[in-house]
Chains A and B, each alone.
Chain A
Amino acid sequence: MTERACPEGHLGGVERPEGALGGVDRPDSSPDQGLHREPERDGLLAVDGLSITHDDGELVDDVSFRIAQGERVGLIGASGSGKSLTASAIMGLLPDGLAASGSVTLRGRQLLGAPERELSRLRGKDLGMVFQEPMTALNPAMRIGRQVAEALTIHGTARRRAADRARELLDRVGLPERTARAYPHELSGGQRQRVLLTIALANDPALLICDEPTTALDVTVQAQVLDLVAEGVRDRGTSLLFITHDLAVIASVCERVLVCRDGRLVEEGPVRAVLSDPEHDYTRRLVEAAL
């Protein structure tokens, strides 16, 4: 593993004290929202010795990293390198047949092996997610406004307020008012991705995980969505884990980068240092293949 000096990223660093930020045991009443988190630019997410195994062997092998409060971290690697699985494990959404071991803590709270009920309270609230294919993540039979509002009411916002807030949030990502009444199929890919981003950020999550969110989009639309992601996390002080194979995208969004290969992290460091002067041979190959 090639490790670089970087202020807040510690690979395999020490355990953080439990509940450093407080309120983590009752996520439904966590008071630490919005900009109040700013001061603690400290370990928000800690992944330690994460391994994911299948009957046939290890898919992710002893991966450790930290994401600080408000930090934007990119995870790059070719397909099959285990980057998406890592994200799935963090969210407790591993496909059947895969088992994760090690430790994943969010504000000191263990996520691996936590009961589904607990995890589902975190997802959408403390953990926001945006995937590559927005069509599969949206309910085709529900109007957009309701889907956004639902994300709010499920996590405790009163119904009436949620509807207003949903419209506000949609407006904030540049979607026109009538979007709220539209169904997913009536939207373009970029618009759908904006809706998903809206849902993911609706509850001002502590961490937003984006897995190839713009890969299927046209370049001009991609640029807009990337701006919205960067803007959305910055405004909220939300940490970002951004997964992609596109180095240029990582370079334009993230501060720090983790390089994943065959289920292992092979290099990490500040994004500019790593991508302009890669130390690991694999990173070098990725950089050379980039356009």
Chain B
Amino acid sequence: MTSTPDGVPATPASAAPTPDAATPAPATSDAATPAPATPDTAAPILAVRDLERTYRGGVHALRGVSLDVPRGGRFGIVGESGSGKSTLVRLLAALDRPTAGTVTFDRRRIDDRRDRDLGFLRRRLQVVFQDPMGSLDPRMRVRDIISEPLGRTRGRDERVAELLEAVDLPADAGLQYPHRFSGGQRQRISIARALAPQPEVLIADEAVSALDVLVRKQILDLLTRLVDEYALTLVFVSHDLGVVRKVCDEVAVMRRGELVEHGPVDDVYDAPRHDYTRELIAAAPTLHGALSQPQRGRSFGDAAPVEPPGPEPPGPEPHGPEPHGPEPHGPEPHGPEPHGPEPQAAEPQSSESQSPESQAPESPDPESPDPESSRSEYPPSEKE
């Protein structure tokens, strides 16, 4: 591999003193990050302070989030839908502006810059998204997709070849169009494109969530290998606790726009301090755990159905003053006469318009659908 990040290495010296946020003050908030030794790299590559993002309609997507991503770290962000993790990603990548608070990248504020002043960030920080099909232009050949971030530089073909090799795609893949590739291969293309400008930070936003188990493992292996090989800082965002544990050394747990817990993965997973983290870890199925515990449906009542009551409009509700109230806490709603033989009346023969399931289309393929969409669109106002 000749493509070591020699092109645009971290140049902490160039840290332009920005107006307000020149002093990130890393240790003020909840989560003091153990800083690695070298003085140069001691400052976090990304520092977030008191970040707020309120959408129209009063939805508080982020509420006072502060965190530091250490240089060279593998930083996980977990949370369920509506937790604000995607909003946070957009702000980390300066794809959106916060309502309040600051984001600094290598000591430079990025939250208040105009797009044209963000060139340095676009080179040094790259994002891989969940849906590889949605983020790859179907009309472009793979080689053009990959080299797009490079602009018109010499040696493009060589660089494309290197990148394809780095993500284990065949050399001739460059001539194809994205639709020819499977989900996993498309994600490899996305990764290759993200690596093209030799970034220092790679943000993976649910990057393996739409993938099949075996493919997911391959992509995770690839990601971790590349992070090592190129000494990248990885920000790994996922709803999947298991994956985060596998990949990251530090994790931040988010819920309803707030960061509820943060620390080294082993600490957080083995000794969660916050109730929500505990609940999340208890709910996340692991094969090992499932095999060593009694099966479901036996101890009904522990993991109770406490989804928020109610048809509430998906909009501005989940972040209000904490809807503690009306939860159907008693989970055993079995009526006394659950299902005796039903009186069978005459059979209406409307075979076509029968039960709603009959409209169910071809069974969904786990690779294609986009679970995130259903998540983010309807943030379930979770139980307390």
Contact = CB atoms under 8 A, between A and B. Distances in A.
Interface of A: 28-29, 31, 33-34, 78-80, 84-85, 87-88, 93, 95, 116-117, 120-121, 123-124, 128-133, 135-139, 147, 150-158, 161, 168, 171-176, 178-179, 181-183, 185-191, 194, 196, 199-200, 203-204, 211-212, 215-224, 226-231, 233-236, 245-255, 272, 275-276, 285-291
B311 A154 contact: no
Contact of B290 (A130, A211, A251): A251
Q: Specify which of B335, B348, B378 lies most central, judged by the most chain A CB atoms within 10 Å of its CB.
A: B378
B226 interface: no
Contacts of B364: 84, 131-133, 211-212
B347 A220 contact: no
20 contacts: A34-B341, A93-B358, A123-B355, A124-B357, A132-B363, A168-B335, A172-B335, A175-B309, A182-B310, A200-B357, A216-B375, A219-B283, A224-B306, A231-B296, A235-B339, A246-B285, A247-B287, A289-B216, A289-B217, A291-B286
A211 B350 CA distance: 26
Contacts of A173: 305, 333
B333 A172 contact: yes
A249 B291 CA distance: 10
Interface string B126-149: 000000000000000000000000
B339 A252 contact: no
Given A182-B311, A276-B291, A151 B363 contact: no
Contact of B360 (A129, A226, A254): A129
B38 interface: no
B interface SS class: loop
B340 interface: yes
Interface in B242-287: 242-243, 245-246, 279-280, 282-287
The 4 closest A-B pairs by CB, nearest first: A230-B297, A291-B242, A174-B305, A182-B311
Given A157-B345, A172-B335, A175-B328, 10 more contacts: A78-B214, A116-B351, A132-B366, A217-B371, A223-B282, A224-B304, A227-B297, A230-B300, A248-B289, A289-B217
B214 A286 contact: yes
B341 A33 contact: yes
Nearest to A136: B361
A223 B303 contact: yes
A288 B362 contact: no
Nearest to A159: B345
B357 A218 contact: no
Given A178-B310, A187-B311, A189-B378, A172 B363 contact: no
B239 interface: yes
Interface in B311-358: 311-314, 326, 328, 331, 333-335, 338-352, 354-358
B279 to A, nearest CB: 6
B285 A249 contact: yes
Say which size band chain B's interface belongs to: 35 or more
Contacts of A289: 213-214, 216-217
A87 B314 CA distance: 32
Interface string B72-89: 000000001100000000
B378 A187 contact: yes
B291 A251 contact: yes
Q: Specify which of B351, B356, B365, B371 lies most central, judged by the most chain A CB atoms within 10 Å of its CB.
A: B356
Contacts of A152: 342
B80 A231 contact: no
Nearest to A34: B339
A163 B295 CA distance: 33
Contacts of A178: 309-311
Contacts of B284: 219
A245 B291 contact: no
B153 interface: no
A275 B291 contact: yes
B213 A78 contact: yes
Nearest to B218: A289
B40 interface: no
A188 B310 CA distance: 9
Contact of A220 (B349, B359, B383): B383
B262 to A, nearest CB: 19
B2 interface: no
Nearest to A128: B357
B336 to A, nearest CB: 10
A156 B383 CA distance: 37
Q: Specify which of B289, B304, B349, B354 lies most central, judged by the most chain A CB atoms within 10 Å of its CB.
A: B354
A219 B80 contact: yes
B12 interface: no
A253 B307 CA distance: 20
Interface in B205-254: 212-217, 239-243, 245-246
B178 interface: no
A87 B239 CA distance: 28
